[in-house]
C-alpha cells in the first residue's frame, strides 16, 4: 500500500501538477542536445502533391521535385478527343457552299443574271446609248490627236465602207479627193492611180474638160486597173474665156459609180489668168497641132515658169490667189461628195438617216 505524499503549497504560488511526457512518433526520433542522430536511409520523394487542403493548378517547375504553390500558371486548354489521324487529303477538305458558276453560259454570253461580264459587254455594245458614248469618245480622242498633229487626220480616217479610186497619182488631186470624202463620210478608203486622157495637155473649154475627166476614168477601166463597178473620181483642169478677153482656170471633177448608177460633175471656182500668160500658150502651140480641137500644147503652168521663174508651175494658184490648187479642188469635191451621199440608198453605210 503506497503512501500519500503531500506537497507544500506556498502562499501565492500554484504549482501545476506534472504532465505526461509528449509522445514522439517513431518516424521522427527526438534529437537531444549533444547527441548525434542515428543514420537514416535516403529519403525518397513522390511527385504527387502532399495531402493537404491545397491543390496545385499546374505541374511542378522544371528541375524541381516539389510543386511550388507560389507559381500559378493558367491551366492549358483542353481539346475534344477525335479520330484525327493527320492532314486530310485535298479532296476531303470541306468548303462552304458556294453558288454554281455556269461556264457554258458565260462563254455563250447569254443574257440573264448568269450572263457574266462578256454577256454584259455584248448587250451593252448593242445599246444605242453606249454606241453613242463610244463614238463620241473616239471622236474626242481623234480630235485631240489631229490637233496635236494635223498630218494624222488621213490615217485616222482611213477605212470604212466607201472606197474611191482617183484617176491621178498627183497629191494635189487624189489628196484633195481623200480629204473631202473623209470629211463627208467620216472614213473612206481613197487611192490614186495614174491615168491618161485623150485631150491636149492644156484643155480649152468646158467640153474639153469633161472629155479629159471621162477619158481618165475610162482608161482605168479598160486597162483592168480597177473593177468595172468601182467608184472612180477624175479631175481635169481647163481654161475658158468667160468674159471678152478674160480667161479663167477651172477644174472639172467627175464621179462615176456604175454599181449604183450615179454620175456627177462639179466645177471648181474660176481663177483669173493674166492676159500675157494666155497669149504665151496660144503663140507657143503650132497651128497644125493634132489635138488643137481640144486645146493647146503648152500648159498655163509652163507659161508661168517662163514668165515668172519664182512661181511653182504645178501650183501657181497659191501665188496669185493665196489658195493652193489642192484647196480649190477640195472645196469642189466636198460639194460633190455631199451630192453623192444624198443619192445613196438609205441602207448604204455612211449615208445619213
The lowest-confidence range among 108-112, 291-295, 321-325 is 108-112
Domain ranges of the chain: 117-156, 157-343
Q: Report the percent of the chain where pLDDT is more than 70.
A: 53
Q: What is the pLDDT of residues 41-74, one digit of tens each?
A: 555 555 555 554 555 554 544 544 445 555 455 5
pTM: 0.57
The lowest-confidence range among 21-30, 195-204, 279-288, 292-301 is 21-30
Quote the pLDDT of residue 75.
60
8 Å CB contact between 242 and 201: no
Quote the pLDDT of residue 160.
75
Query: 135 or 263: which carries more pLDDT confidence?
Result: 263
**Alpha helices (H) along the chain:** 103-108, 116-125, 128-148, 153-156, 176-185, 206-222, 275-284, 300-307, 316-321, 325-343
Q: How many CA atoms lie within 13 A of 229 on its CB side?
A: 3
**Alpha helices (H) along 232-324:** 275-284, 300-307, 316-321
What gap in Å lies between CA 277 and CA 297, rounded to an integer? 14
For the domain spanning 157-343, the CATH number is: 3.90.950.10
Q: Return the DSSP state at 24.
A: P
Tell me how far the alpha carbon of residue 252 is from its chain's centroid: 44
What confidence category does residue 279 fall into, taking pLDDT thresholds of 50, 70 and 90?
A: very high
Quote the pLDDT of residue 311.
84
Quote the pLDDT of residue 313.
83
Quote the pLDDT of residue 112.
45
- At how many degrees (to 10) do helices 176-185 and 325-343 cross? 40
What gap in Å lies between CA 124 and CA 10, rounded to an integer? 128
What gap in Å lies between CA 158 and CA 204, rounded to an integer? 36
Amino acid at each position: 500500500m503506497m503512501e500519500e505524499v503531500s506537497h507544500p503549497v506556498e502562499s501565492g504560488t500554484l504549482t501545476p501538477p506534472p504532465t505526461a511526457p509528449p509522445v514522439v512518433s517513431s518516424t521522427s526520433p527526438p534529437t537531444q542536445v549533444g547527441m548525434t542522430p542515428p543514420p537514416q536511409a535516403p529519403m525518397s520523394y513522390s511527385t504527387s502533391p502532399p495531402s493537404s487542403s491545397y491543390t496545385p493548378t499546374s505541374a511542378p517547375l522544371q528541375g524541381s521535385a516539389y510543386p511550388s504553390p507560389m507559381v500559378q500558371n493558367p491551366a492549358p486548354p483542353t481539346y475534344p478527343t477525335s479520330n484525327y489521324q493527320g492532314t486530310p487529303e485535298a479532296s476531303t477538305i470541306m468548303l462552304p457552299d458556294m453558288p454554281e458558276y455556269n461556264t457554258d453560259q458565260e462563254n455563250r454570253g447569254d443574257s440573264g443574271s448568269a450572263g457574266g461580264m462578256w454577256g454584259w459587254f455584248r448587250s451593252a455594245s448593242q445599246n444605242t446609248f453606249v454606241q453613242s458614248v463610244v463614238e463620241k469618245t473616239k471622236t474626242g480622242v481623234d480630235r485631240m490627236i489631229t490637233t496635236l498633229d494635223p498630218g494624222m487626220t488621213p490615217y485616222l480616217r482611213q477605212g470604212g465602207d466607201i472606197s474611191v479610186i482617183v484617176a491621178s497619182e498627183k497629191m494635189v488631186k487624189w489628196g484633195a479627193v481623200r480629204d473631202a470624202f473623209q470629211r463627208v463620210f467620216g472614213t473612206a478608203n481613197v487611192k490614186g492611180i495614174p491615168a491618161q486622157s485623150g485631150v491636149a495637155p492644156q484643155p480649152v473649154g468646158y467640153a474639153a474638160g469633161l472629155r479629159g475627166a471621162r477619158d481618165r476614168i475610162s482608161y482605168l477601166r479598160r486597162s483592168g486597173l480597177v473593177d468595172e463597178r468601182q467608184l472612180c473620181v477624175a479631175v481635169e483642169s481647163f481654161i475658158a474665156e468667160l468674159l471678152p478677153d478674160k480667161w479663167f482656170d477651172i477644174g472639172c471633177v467627175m464621179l462615176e459609180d456604175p454599181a449604183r448608177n450615179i454620175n456627177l460633175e462639179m466645177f471648181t471656182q474660176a481663177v483669173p489668168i493674166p492676159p500675157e500668160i494666155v497669149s504665151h500658150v496660144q503663140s507657143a502651140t503650132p497651128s497644125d497641132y493634132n489635138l488643137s480641137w481640144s486645146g493647146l500644147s503648152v500648159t498655163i503652168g509652163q507659161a508661168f515658169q517662163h514668165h515668172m521663174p519664182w512661181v511653182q508651175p504645178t501650183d501657181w494658184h497659191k501665188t496669185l490667189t493665196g489658195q493652193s490648187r489642192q484647196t480649190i479642188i477640195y472645196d469642189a469635191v466636198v460639194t460633190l461628195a455631199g451630192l453623192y451621199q444624198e443619192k445613196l440608198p438609205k441602207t448604204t453605210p455612211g449615208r445619213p438617216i
